[in-house]
């Protein structure tokens, strides 16, 4: 009897324990389903929110999307930093730019295209001019001459000399009026000739005509010579070599300094010096002193060659190169 009561008690405990486990499992399962449903709902809400934000970004034209982000962390330096200006290796002319130049008795037309391209256009000017006839065109020398004609009772002719300009891919057309004296052709002063009229007509023709004549293969050799060259002297400083006479080099240097924005406080043509105001303060920890002015030197090496340099030493290499670069860019 006692054993039976004990067995019934054990069976009841088993059922109670099993029922408790079943209830606990059911609650846990419902909780899991509820959590998954909540997470799914939250995920859907986040996805909808992200899509709405993306659509608003794409519609905003002022927002920049980085299609190629830089991987990893980007280190941003605090404070100011100085970026070096890239060095100008050569001075390039503006395409088809045209100007009239005058220096003393010399007149010439400057144009921003190569000599081989200007060559057929000058020939075209002579062929369409009622007062001139083409007599000779020597591409090896860059000279185009008209037939002789009477001017003030003398045999005269007009000669066009095409040369490369001071800037790369540019040309200079020098016009001369020559007179035949005892079988020898000599250039006559402009005051006694109609050269001003010819130069102005050539300028108008080149300004209005379209470059449809192409390039002369015979005149390609004129493109290879340069009037300007940037060199490094024995001190390691850059300087500009100009294949022109001193009068042209002085005038061109002065013009380029003004175009580059330098303040010329004084100049001495006899000594070939320009004095520039150039305020540059170095750090208090630098051993190199600050600058308040710089001298630009124009020295004549021979009749048709000059050098442009600064008075700065190797300790101011960066400043010297910057000034030389700006002069070179503005030369004409």
Q: Which residues contact 150 (CB under 8 A, 6 or more apart)?
A: 156
Q: Is domain 98-222 classified as CATH 3.40.50.720?
A: no
User: Is 57 a residue whose pLDDT tops 80?
Assistant: no
Mean pLDDT of 88-108: 71
3-state secondary structure 150-171: EECCEEEEEEEEEEECCCECCE
User: Is 84 a residue whose pLDDT tops 50?
Assistant: no
Q: Residue 145 corresponds to which tokens in the numbers above?
A: 């001459």
Q: Looking at mean pLDDT, say which of 74-88, 202-216, 217-231 comes out highest.
A: 217-231
Q: Residue 73 corresponds to which tokens in the numbers above?
A: 């962390």
- Exposure string (b/e) for 12-41, b if CB count within 10 Å is 16 or more? eeeeeeeeeeeeeeeeeeeeeeeeeeeeee
Mean pLDDT of 289-311: 88
Position 77 confidence tier, pLDDT thresholds 50, 70, 90: very low
d(CA 47, CA 59): 18
d(CA 246, CA 252): 10
Residues 174, 163 contacting (CB under 8 angstroms) = yes
The domains of the chain are located at 98-222, 227-330
Q: Which of 50-54, 246-250, 264-268 has the weakest average pLDDT? A: 50-54
238: left (phi over 0), alpha (psi -120 to 50) or beta: beta
pTM: 0.65
Q: Residue 102 corresponds to which tokens in the numbers above?
A: 């005058």
pLDDT of residue 71: 42
User: Is 52 a residue whose pLDDT tops 70?
Assistant: no
Quick one: how far is CA 49 from the chain centroid?
48
Residues 83, 323 contacting (CB under 8 angstroms) = no
Pick the CATH number of 227-330 from 3.30.930.10, 3.30.310.170, 3.60.20.10, 3.10.580.10: 3.30.310.170
For 151-203, how does the pLDDT look when each residue is reduced to its tens digit (9 = 90+)?
A: 888 899 999 999 999 988 899 999 999 999 888 999 887 766 678 889 999 99
d(CA 304, CA 310): 20
Fill in the DSSP letter of residue 313: -
Please tell me whether residue 107 adopts helix, strand or coil conformation.
strand
């Amino acid at each position: 009897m006692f054993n039976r009561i004990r067995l019934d008690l054990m069976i009841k405990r088993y059922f109670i324990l099993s029922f408790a486990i079943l209830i606990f499992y059911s609650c846990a399962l419902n909780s899991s389903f509820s959590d998954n449903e909540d997470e799914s709902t939250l995920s859907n809400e986040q996805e909808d929110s992200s899509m709405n934000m993306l659509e608003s970004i794409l519609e905003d034209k002022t927002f920049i999307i980085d299609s190629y982000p830089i991987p990893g962390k980007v280190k941003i330096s605090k404070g100011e930093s100085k970026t070096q200006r890239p060095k100008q290796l050569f001075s390039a002319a503006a395409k088809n730019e045209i100007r009239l130049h005058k220096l003393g008795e010399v007149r010439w037309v400057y144009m921003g295209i190569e000599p081989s391209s200007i060559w057929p256009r000058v020939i075209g000017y002579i062929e369409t001019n009622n007062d001139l006839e083409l007599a000779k065109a020597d591409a090896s020398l860059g000279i185009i001459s008209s037939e002789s004609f009477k001017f003030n009772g003398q045999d005269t002719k007009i000669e066009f000399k095409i040369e490369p300009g001071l800037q790369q891919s540019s040309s200079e057309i020098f016009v001369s009026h020559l007179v035949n004296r005892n079988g020898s052709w000599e250039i006559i002063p402009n005051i006694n000739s109609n050269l001003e009229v010819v130069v102005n007509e050539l300028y108008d023709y080149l300004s209005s005509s379209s470059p449809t004549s192409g390039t002369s293969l015979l005149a390609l050799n004129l493109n290879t010579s340069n009037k300007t060259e940037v060199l490094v002297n024995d001190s390691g400083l850059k300087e500009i070599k100009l294949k022109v006479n001193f009068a042209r080099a002085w005038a061109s240097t002065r013009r380029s300094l003004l175009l580059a924005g330098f303040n010329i406080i004084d100049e001495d043509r006899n000594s070939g010096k320009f004095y520039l105001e150039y305020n540059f303060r170095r750090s208090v920890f630098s051993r190199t002193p600050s600058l308040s002015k710089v001298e630009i030197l124009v020295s004549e090496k021979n009749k048709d060659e000059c050098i442009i340099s600064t008075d700065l030493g190797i300790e101011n290499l960066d400043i010297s190169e910057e000034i030389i670069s700006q002069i070179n860019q503005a030369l004409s």
